[in-house]
Structure 1
């Protein structure tokens, strides 16, 4: 392997190589994560990040309009994602017979410290793209195997139930049972075929070698894209509209010797390191633990604005309970003032409020959408084989200024209440609801 073999390790006895077997599913998830990272730093994705995400009104107004700061957050989060993928590769590497692959944790540690080269493989090269396509084929086959195994388990449950029914000696039950047995045989044959072409029958060495190469390529790409930056100090809190930048040391090619690596010591199996996530300051929505709640409030309000029917009392009560106490007070005060100044049934006023709410939601709803998307992508990461680029925290409500976010939400709720009142539909009535 480039960067691992011929690097000066003392020879050791080779261990017998083994195939992944049941670990193929976990390996496929790690491979999917690496493909996602590879795609997330493509020219197209970086252009979208710089020209669309960072310059979007919601991100610029709520989070920051400092491009350097936002790019620093993007770089830090992608590096954290890569660290977690590398940790998974290192755990599988312990089962490899190749000496360098077995100590991938040390190799990656030295790479991050800038004392070992990332090798000759370049991002976007034909060689790199061939490896990505190979990994994608393996992941697709392993995903197919996973689905086939789950289907077989369901069919075997049906088989056990039908065995009991068969005892009734019904011709129909016997025919159904025989039909199921044929399907079981076909399903087991399909599983055997999937095992042949999937990761199930691939060796640890081949799979870890493939993944390790992608890790090195992605790390080199991230450092090349974002340039030398100062790493965000995780002991400090990140506040909206300001923040330190990232850095990476200049790579130098040297030999290194075997010693214990502490890179992944703090990350146990299944435990994520979330330094960027926990760096949000108390003045941010995420630092207050309200990002997902506020995102749901915004998206529910958007749904109600597009609705042409009345909202039930239960729905209104449920929606109201989503608001923290300080936001309830803010909405109540604004709503009472607006209702006193308005006349019942003013259609023009209702249209004006509708336009105002729609204008706010135009830039606020995408941030709320990305907040929910970010949470879902992380929640389902353990079971998914999805290799699409994931959302970044900087495009969510996590680092958003809490005061500005709450002011925008209050305007939406007041406007929505006025729209429903003046259109003779019930939503929020200041005396009844509050």
Structure 2
């Protein structure tokens, strides 16, 4: 990174307080350090080129964002990443054990699984703001019937909503990067909250090279993939060791003549597995310095910020207060999105298979309806008069016409809740080498019922 950012960032050191706009808790533990230390970090904000030779450069090249490992391997890695990620989510630089371990050895070690999780989050976010995905967003997703009828028909408002969601995801990503910075031995990484605050307030940051950013992310995802492989090889090593110890206990009661070759075979397999784990440690995040990875993560944050500005224009700067008029009540903030999605799916089941339903299906559907819909339904039934005889086929066709655009949003809502968190995102990504990154699109919030207008959806229920 060159000297292009130094002036702005030195001003940030003296001109900004520890409180910031990135979220609660960002100012904790961020002291102003010696000016030499600050200068060493703030000398540059250009993206550094990825080193030509590295421990991970010998890894197979990936054409998808996750690499060559199969989906089965990734699903196995999900368990440990989820467990470790949640168990360490409250750690800070003052939390004793983890901080001391990282600082003393200056290696990532056990923290590598959580860092891999964060890298995956950054990869998905970086892909979502790519030019290909933004074109797909504007030309297809935002023009879908569900979004147009339930969210808004104003393209400017829709883009502002997506920009706000993207900013929210970037803030979450930054919080994790900041926390890792606090765990670094080198204090130059302890002021990232202030640095990001200054970066995000700049509407015209210096341009970072897309090719360099993509190469950096490719390098990080290679390391994350090897870290995923390391996890399930750790699992296999644990099984080998248990089997070997169990066999040794069995043979303690046997004579030398009775002992077979099985123990020797297990010992040989155990030795090979230990070598494999040792090799993966060297190729994964496990053996990397945290400071080395932090430099790349900070570059990725800066590049994603740049892409948001380029992709969304003025709406990508400050989207929190972009609406002049009060927004109508939305399902997500009301905590009703998943409930409404389940009701829609029940309706679809009844319409699709009216003759093969459980006896209590209709009662269950009625109990799940919103209060306003129930009241409107009672009123309609009391005044209902049959003018023209309607066949079951006509009624079904009318309901299917509405469900045709309602069901996709309901399914997306359920899927988003089932795959909540970036571990679920990683598990659901394919590893097909022929799939381009732009073809592997993540589900975004506006495709769900989160931003759906409550009154519009209630009206659709009643129609």
TM-score, reference length from structure 2: 0.66
Q: Is the 8 A contact 1:374 1:390 kept in 2?
A: no
Q: State the shift of 1:50 in Å.
A: 0.7
Q: 1:108 to 1:331 in 2, by over 3 A?
A: same
Q: Is the 8 A contact 2:5 2:206 kept in 1?
A: no
> How far apart, CA to CA, are the structure 2 residues paired with 1:180 and 1:303?
53
> How far apart, CA to CA, are the structure 1 residues paired with 2:267 and 2:361?
49
**Of 97, 111, 133, which aligns to 1:45?**
133
Q: Is the 8 A contact 2:131 2:311 kept in 1?
A: no
Q: State the shift of 1:299 in Å.
A: 2.2
Q: 1:173 to 1:396 in 2, by over 3 A?
A: farther
Say if 2:192 is the partner of 1:140.
no
Q: Is the 8 A contact 2:37 2:188 kept in 1?
A: no
Q: Which residue of 1 aligns with 2:453?
A: 401
**Of 385, 403, 426, which aligns to 2:426?**
385
Q: How does 1:259-270 map onto structure 2 within 5 Å?
A: none
Q: State the shift of 1:329 in Å.
A: 3.8
Q: Which residue of 2 aligns with 1:69?
A: 157
Farther off after superposition, 298-307 or 362-371 = 298-307
> How far apart, CA to CA, are the structure 1 residues paired with 2:189 and 2:332?
38
Query: Alignment partner of 1:11: what SS?
Result: helix
Q: Which residue of 2 aligns with 1:251?
A: none
Say if 2:23 is the partner of 1:23.
no
Structure 2: gaps of 5 or more residues: 11-33, 41-102, 430-439
Say if 2:32 is the partner of 1:11.
no
**Of 287, 301, 318, which aligns to 1:231?**
318
Q: State the shift of 1:21 in Å.
A: 0.6
Q: Is the 8 A contact 2:207 2:306 kept in 1?
A: no
- Cα deviation digits, residues 7-56 of structure 1 (max 9, x gap): 66722499877111111111111111111111001112101111112111
Q: Which residue of 2 aligns with 1:293?
A: 339
Say if 2:370 is the partner of 1:324.
yes
Farther off after superposition, 101-110 or 25-34 = 101-110
Q: How does 1:15-414 map onto structure 2 within 5 Å?
A: 18-96=106-184, 100-114=188-202, 118-122=205-209, 125-153=210-238, 184-229=270-315, 231-233=318-320, 243-244=323-324, 281=328, 283-307=329-353, 310-331=356-377, 334=380, 341=386, 349-377=391-419, 379-381=420-422, 385=426, 389-411=441-463
Q: Is the 8 A contact 1:139 1:199 kept in 2?
A: yes
Q: 1:233 to 1:198 in 2, by over 3 A?
A: closer
Query: Alignment partner of 2:305: what SS?
Result: helix
Q: Is the 8 A contact 1:93 1:208 kept in 2?
A: yes
Q: Which residue of 2 aligns with 1:257?
A: none
Q: 1:3 to 1:315 in 2, by over 3 A?
A: farther
Q: Is the 8 A contact 1:118 1:217 kept in 2?
A: no
Q: Which residue of 2 aligns with 1:249?
A: none
Q: Is the 8 A contact 1:284 1:398 kept in 2?
A: yes
> How far apart, CA to CA, are the structure 2 residues paired with 1:17 and 1:75?
40
Total equivalences in the alignment:
362
Query: Alignment partner of 1:409: what SS?
Result: helix
Q: Is the 8 A contact 2:409 2:448 kept in 1?
A: yes
Q: Which residue of 1 aligns with 2:83?
A: none
Q: Is the 8 A contact 1:280 1:399 kept in 2?
A: no
- Cα deviation digits, residues 280-337 of structure 1 (max 9, x gap): 75x3323432111111121233244334751112444444443333333444555677
Q: 1:61 to 1:160 in 2, by over 3 A?
A: farther
Q: 1:144 to 1:3 in 2, by over 3 A?
A: farther
> How far apart, CA to CA, are the structure 2 residues paired with 1:95 and 1:186?
34
Structure 1: gaps of 5 or more residues: 246-278, 412-434
> How far apart, CA to CA, are the structure 1 residues paired with 2:311 and 2:240?
50
- Cα deviation digits, residues 338-393 of structure 1 (max 9, x gap): 7x7399xx8x712122222222122111221222233334x333565357654333
Q: 1:380 to 1:179 in 2, by over 3 A?
A: farther
Q: 1:385 to 1:20 in 2, by over 3 A?
A: farther
